[in-house]
């Protein structure tokens, strides 16, 4: 899993040749911490097909503002440098997996 900040967001996400799932989390966010081990499992499951990136929101406030991330947890899905989906609030692993499969398309 890749740690992303305001400084390396363009390089790691926008310019990534692979689709990217960006997990915006915070150390005071109970649901974020509960999802974290499952998100790490996803990075193994989708290895080679999707890059999984994490942003510690309190340390990257400018990035959160630029992307209009207003609550945690928030998951943004990027493909070819563009945001293609957003999951926020009551997010489950099932929702994340379904969004990833939809983004990848059939046969992936």
Please, which pLDDT band fits residue 108 given cuts at 50, 70 and 90? low
Give, in order, the Cα–Cα distances in Å from 63 to each of 6, 10, 38, 49, 98: 5, 11, 24, 25, 26
Q: In this predicted model, what pLDDT tens digit does every residue of 32-83 receive, in sequence order?
A: 999 999 999 998 999 999 999 999 999 999 999 999 999 999 999 999 999 9
CATH number at residue 89: 3.40.30.10
Closest-CA residue to 20 (of 85, 67, 107, 73): 85
- Considering the candidates 22, 32, 55, 64, report the single residue annotated as catalytic: 32
The span from the CA of 34 to the CA of 68, in Å, is 23
What does the radius of gyration of the chain's CA atoms come to, in whole angstroms?
13
Active site residue 64: no
Closest-CA residue to 72 (of 93, 62, 57, 53): 57
- Considering the candidates 13, 29, 35, 50, report the single residue annotated as catalytic: 29
Counting the structural domains of the chain, the total is 1
Tokens, residue 67: 């992307």
Q: In this predicted model, what pLDDT tens digit does every residue of 71-86 receive, in sequence order?
A: 999 999 999 999 999 9
pLDDT at 107: 63
Structural domain containing residue 15: 2-104
Active site residue 29: yes
The answer to pTM > 0.85 is yes
């Amino acid at each position: 899993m890749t740690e992303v900040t305001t400084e390396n967001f363009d390089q790691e996400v926008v310019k990534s040749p692979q689709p990217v799932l960006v997990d915006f989390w915070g150390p005071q966010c109970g649901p974020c911490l509960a999802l974290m081990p499952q998100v790490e499992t996803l990075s193994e499951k989708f290895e080679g097909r999707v890059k999984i990136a994490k942003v510690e929101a309190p340390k990257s406030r400018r990035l959160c503002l630029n992307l209009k991330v207003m609550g945690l947890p928030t998951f943004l899905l990027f493909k070819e440098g563009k945001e293609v989906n957003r999951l926020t609030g009551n997010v489950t692993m099932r929702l994340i997996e379904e969004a990833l499969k939809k983004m990848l398309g059939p046969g992936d």
